[in-house]
Chains A and B, each alone.
Chain A
Amino acid sequence: MGAYLLRRLLVAVPSLLGISLILFTILALAPGDPFGDMASNPNIPPEVRLALRAKFGLDDPVLFRYWHWLVAMVRGDWGFSFQSRTDVARLILDRVPTTLFVVGSSQVLALLIAVPVGIAAAVRPYSLLDKLANTLAFAGFSLPTFFTGILFILVFSINLHWLPFVYDADIQATGLAWYWEHVRQAIMPVCVLGFFQAASYTRYVRSAVLDVARLDYVTTARAKGLAEGTVTRRHIARNGLIPVVTLVALQMPAVFGGAIVTEQIFRVPGIGALLINAMLANDTPVVMAVTFVFACLVVLFNLIADLLYGWLDPRISFG
């Protein structure tokens, strides 16, 4: 196990280097100038712009710049945002809690719905409940979040005035009211994202559990005289959910990445929104940092998924 972990981590280093090099090259070759708006501003002399470009090394060869970026990154310096004029690390760390809160909650909500519904549908296939769950799941992931999001806003904010539709990261209230405001404004984005995820998870859980429910050892368990609930919990669910656990682990980078579309609709100041704004502003250090963090997370959670699989399924050994 130790050797396996070490081997996987060693393999991760060249792959991350490769990813970062490709990302960096693409961003460097992409058209657009972060200081482009200065060129059209008559109050700024062109020398200033050129000096800024020189200062940030934008005119150096790509590989040279990549090397600088890599050395800085290894030292823990994530770069400096052209647009916000702050450290990229600061910018990301500001956004992370909001994203984790909103997207993380939606994942939890999705699992709370998908696991019980998926199992219940699978142990009684083609029952009324199963058909209902299937229909809802189909509708759920057919409807894009930008549609349900706007629908939610229309119904719950505009018509009913129950919930705010612009996310405010800077709530002025104190004490319990502060918490309540946070929860209230998160309800809609969490539900929109959660239902969407729940729909696809439900179908996945259902098919995974259905595969297990047919197996001989389930019949063996029933032949022992176990009650149906025990058979489902102990013999079906435990085996059926193993692939689901790894699927969820592989989804985790997306949680950190935020849900770009949903964050835009509800104006949630999360990582996704940061990435979009940075791209629009040609703010390459931010784009680079955010995408590289995603890459690291993907590699990390792939490893975690594999380890989880081995831990949950005794047949897998790490050699």
Chain B
Amino acid sequence: MPTAVSAPVSAAVSTPLLEVENLTTAFRRDGAWREVVHGVSFTVGARETVALVGESGSGKSVSALAVMRLHPRQASRVGGRVLFEGRDLLALPEPAMRGLRGDAIAMVFQEPMTSLNPVLTIGFQIAEGLMLHRGLGREAAEAEAVRLLDRVRIPAARSRLHDHPHRFSGGMRQRVVIAMALACRPKLLIADEPTTALDVTVQAQILDLLKELQDQEGMAVLFITHDMGVVAEIADRTVVMRHGRAVEAGDTAEIFRGAHHPYTRALLSSVPKLGSMAGETRPLRFPIVSATTGAVDVPPGLPDTVTPGQRPVLEVSGLTTRFDIRGGLLGKVRGCVHAVEGVSFTLGAGETLALVGESGCGKSTTGRSVLRLIEPAAGSVLLDGEDVLTLGPAALRERRKRMQMIFQDPFASLDPRMSVGAAIAEPILLNRLGTRAEARARTADLLQRVGLTPDMASRFPHEFSGGQRQRICIARALAVRPRLIVADESVSALDVSVKAQVVNLMLELQAEFGLAFLFISHDMAVVERVSHRVAVMYLGEIVEMGPRAAVFGDPQHPYTRRLLAAVPVPDPARRGARHKVSADEIRNPIRALDYVPPVRQYREVSPGHVVQAWGEEWEPKGTSAAA
């Protein structure tokens, strides 16, 4: 489908649909009022898409909820003016405001898994707004709901009307949420990070859908996001927020071309851009721009950390992990989730191998199986030539010193009741790698090494920000001087600028200690930046693997191509150049007990770059899913 071109921006901004003037929001915490949004102003014209961008804590979502007046009344205070079609929303009586919500102004939230009521059918949840605002009867409203579900391309909409939300995948749920928001044909749609929780290919589908529906309905969209790639993809104008203030606003293309505020420049420079590594063979650090002065710190090139010809630190072959599905009268095994199926790869010292793929592809299970945090069903995992899978409990504990893990959520991976010093020293003491005094000295050293100060050892995790906590987790992993670190989405939950710093730190540590990283991520742009080699996983198997430059520069497997095509490029000039992504759902790897996995053929495209032979299901179909 050719992308419909949005209405010309210049015509749209003449009379703004929404004018936010000097918006302030304060919350009461422990009896004291704390202002988190300090006088933000912006406008959204009819049919226009405006992006509110910022990192966590910038006040972007708070501002959006304030526009809708959805903050709890007792614990929040909103000031300024919010004019919608000339009426001040903040001065409206509550019933009049309710009349606008869901009717003229609708909202889509971030987390599709939680923004639908689990005990009500999706049909009812869509019909609810129609019955309220349009006075439709149950039947008429449900008929309209079917039409809406068709429009957001839920397959077999009529038969799924009475399904509960848990029967839908994340992407499908977000479509339902969008259908719900569009029910009363709103003039303004506020979308709060609507694609953040989704896989890239699903994100691309949802963005396409939003754009298309916007053109058809002629509605304005206020799009809240932290993702500059998404901004470049969809926004006419962009408002950059930081610490509760709008630091810069303007035409999206102009902001990307030449931002004025140092913070905007810092933000843009720390965004990993897919394709920016063409011509580079080794990983590269992110340039760090000071958010206050705008001074650019161009990173020095990293030394080559890989020595060819050495025996790899990690040799994985035929790794297979399955989870039983039980059922029936006696709870017999009915089938298996083939989470990891015949995965083989090697990883050398000082090398980073990225495992990429979308949720459910088995990349995390692979990482955990390598460390034997999950017991694999078959295969071998050689760590320095010794098979980890056959080790007894004592020997395994001993070998775990050489392999460590860094998890995704830095908030959940530190014990809140343990000081960070104790957390870092614990692995040293447990493994009897030193006395208490030595552990203390090493903790101080490690804290310094990851960019913190030794005096922070006595503090507790809640006193640190997300990025700092992830640094602590890295220090803890380094405490036992490992050879291999499995980093499972370790930077995915971090804000872009923090993400860039943590990635830089990991690269420096690799150069210093010759660490081998198994870098598990869904973020193609970060993977391009950090890895030497890349393995693309799909349905538990590696479908393509090779040097990073080869896989990104010359992707062979249709899935790799689809994955790369779906990544939003933070460059408004290249908007629409992206390939259309089909609306296929990722299939699930649940198989019957008698399933015999097919023997896969791999072909070598160039030295070290192998690709799995693919079957007919990957051949392009005549009718693309995008109508």
- The yes or no answer to B326 lying at the interface (CB within 8 A) is yes
Interface membership of chain A positions 110-154, coded 1 if the CB is closer than 8 angstroms to chain B and 0 otherwise = 000000000000001011000000000000000000000000000
Interface membership of chain A positions 213-253, coded 1 if the CB is closer than 8 angstroms to chain B and 0 otherwise = 00111011111111100000011001100100000000000
Number of interface residues of B (CB under 8 A): 37
Q: Which residue in chain A gives the minimum CB-CB distance to B103? A: A225
Which residue, of A126, A219, A234, A315, has the highest number of chain B Cβ atoms within 10 A? Answer: A219
- The yes or no answer to A211 lying at the interface (CB within 8 A) is no
Asked, given contacts A226-B128, A226-B132, A227-B98, whether A3 binds B328 with beta carbons under 8 Å apart, the answer is yes
Contact surface of B with A, Cβ cutoff 8 Å: 65, 68, 70, 74, 98-103, 106-107, 109-111, 114-120, 128-129, 132-133, 164, 166, 177, 180-181, 326-331
B97 CB to closest chain A CB (Å) equals: 8
- Interface of B, secondary structure class, is loop
Q: B327: which A residues are within 8 A, CB to CB?
A: 319
Distance A239 CA – B119 CA, assembled complex (angstroms): 7
Contact partner of A225 among B74, B100, B111, B115, CB < 8 A? B100
A92 CB to closest chain B CB (Å) equals: 34
- Sampled A-B contacts (10; CB under 8 Å): A6-B329, A217-B114, A217-B116, A224-B101, A225-B98, A225-B100, A238-B120, A239-B119, A315-B166, A319-B328
4 pairs of A and B residues whose beta carbons are closest in the complex: A224-B102, A225-B102, A225-B101, A223-B107
Q: Which residue in chain B gives the minimum CB-CB distance to A235? A: B117
Contact surface of A with B, Cβ cutoff 8 Å: 3, 6-7, 10, 124, 126-127, 215-217, 219-227, 234-235, 238-239, 242, 312-315, 319
Distance A126 CA – B75 CA, assembled complex (angstroms): 10
B142 CB to closest chain A CB (Å) equals: 16
> By the criterion CB–CB under 8 Å, are B115 and A220 in contact?
yes
> By the criterion CB–CB under 8 Å, are B74 and A124 in contact?
yes
6 A-B pairs besides A220-B107, A221-B128, A313-B119 with CB distance below 8 A are A215-B114, A221-B117, A225-B98, A225-B99, A242-B119, A319-B326
Q: B100: which A residues are within 8 A, CB to CB?
A: 225
Distance A314 CA – B177 CA, assembled complex (angstroms): 19
B148 CB to closest chain A CB (Å) equals: 13
Distance A314 CA – B165 CA, assembled complex (angstroms): 9
> By the criterion CB–CB under 8 Å, are B117 and A239 in contact?
yes
> By the criterion CB–CB under 8 Å, are B119 and A312 in contact?
yes
Distance A61 CA – B336 CA, assembled complex (angstroms): 50
Q: A235: which B residues are within 8 A, CB to CB?
A: 117, 120
Q: A127: which B residues are within 8 A, CB to CB?
A: 74
> By the criterion CB–CB under 8 Å, are B132 and A225 in contact?
yes
> By the criterion CB–CB under 8 Å, are B129 and A315 in contact?
no
Q: B120: which A residues are within 8 A, CB to CB?
A: 234-235, 238
Contact partner of A222 among B101, B103, B116, CB < 8 A? B101
Asked, given contacts A224-B101, A225-B103, A315-B164, whether A219 binds B118 with beta carbons under 8 Å apart, the answer is no
> By the criterion CB–CB under 8 Å, are A315 and B98 in contact?
no
Distance A217 CA – B110 CA, assembled complex (angstroms): 11
Q: A313: which B residues are within 8 A, CB to CB?
A: 118-119
> By the criterion CB–CB under 8 Å, are A217 and B115 in contact?
yes
Distance A215 CA – B118 CA, assembled complex (angstroms): 11
Contact partner of A220 among B103, B109, B132, CB < 8 A? B109
Asked, given contacts A225-B98, A227-B98, whether A217 binds B166 with beta carbons under 8 Å apart, the answer is no
B61 CB to closest chain A CB (Å) equals: 11
B117 CB to closest chain A CB (Å) equals: 4
Contact partner of B68 among A216, A217, A223, CB < 8 A? A223
> By the criterion CB–CB under 8 Å, are A225 and B129 in contact?
yes
Q: Which residue in chain A gives the minimum CB-CB distance to B167? A: A314
Distance A215 CA – B99 CA, assembled complex (angstroms): 22
> By the criterion CB–CB under 8 Å, are B329 and A3 in contact?
yes
Q: Which residue in chain B gives the minimum CB-CB distance to A314? A: B164
Distance A235 CA – B165 CA, assembled complex (angstroms): 14
Distance A3 CA – B133 CA, assembled complex (angstroms): 45
A311 CB to closest chain B CB (Å) equals: 11
Asked, given contacts A124-B74, A225-B132, A315-B164, whether A220 binds B116 with beta carbons under 8 Å apart, the answer is yes
Q: Which residue in chain B gives the minimum CB-CB distance to A319? A: B327
> By the criterion CB–CB under 8 Å, are B133 and A225 in contact?
yes
Q: A10: which B residues are within 8 A, CB to CB?
A: 329
Q: B117: which A residues are within 8 A, CB to CB?
A: 217, 220-221, 235, 239
Contact partner of B118 among A7, A223, A225, A239, CB < 8 A? A239
Q: Which residue in chain B gives the minimum CB-CB distance to A239? A: B119
Q: A234: which B residues are within 8 A, CB to CB?
A: 120
> By the criterion CB–CB under 8 Å, are B119 and A7 in contact?
no
Distance A126 CA – B100 CA, assembled complex (angstroms): 29
